[in-house]
Amino acid sequence: MHTLQNHFLLAMPSLQDPYFERSLVYLCEHNAEGAMGLVINIPTDMQVDELLEQVKIDHPATQALKQPVLQGGPVASDRGFVLHSHRAGFGSSLTLSDELMVTTSRDILETLGTAEAPSHWLVTLGYAGWSAGQLEQELSDGAWLIVPVDTRLIFATPVHERWGKAAASIGINTLHLSSQIGHA
């Protein structure tokens, strides 16, 4: 089986699910048992500093914490995930690539906005999950395009531009995409 871990999934216009419409998903894991990813372009109404206040973490007043918390997906939407540049030392981290890690432990939240934080990070609530064969079927149905990961899309591109820039990175003009699918 060819793994799509450390790739983006770009939602096609035909994908009308409210959680995934025009979404860009970073795939953290993909194997024969299923897949897990984080939607990285759909903001919630909450900013990171507000989240830190809700979970009673003291934090500096810094512009870095004014970024939105993202809707990571419909599964475990009360659980936080921090996708970040490589920095070891947190209680619950998984290395995803040479450049990226995901951490779910509280200790990373305590570093956000400080010099101890990873150099790049974003916070999501929830994740997207697929059972064995489900993602492959959705790919076969044309719901997603596979896009190579570019960390600049994750950390240096405004949230509302990520879907379009990911499409452009593989030569697709989103104005030419249609929600209608056909079969030859």
Distance CA 40, CA 8 (A): 10
| CB proximity list for 115: less than 8 A, separation 6 or greater | none
Helix (H, G, I), strand (E, B) or coil at 48: helix
pLDDT in tens, 69-128: 999 999 999 999 999 999 988 989 999 999 999 999 999 999 999 999 999 999 999 999
The whole-angstrom separation of Cα 50 and Cα 7 is: 30
pTM of the entire structure? Answer: 0.92
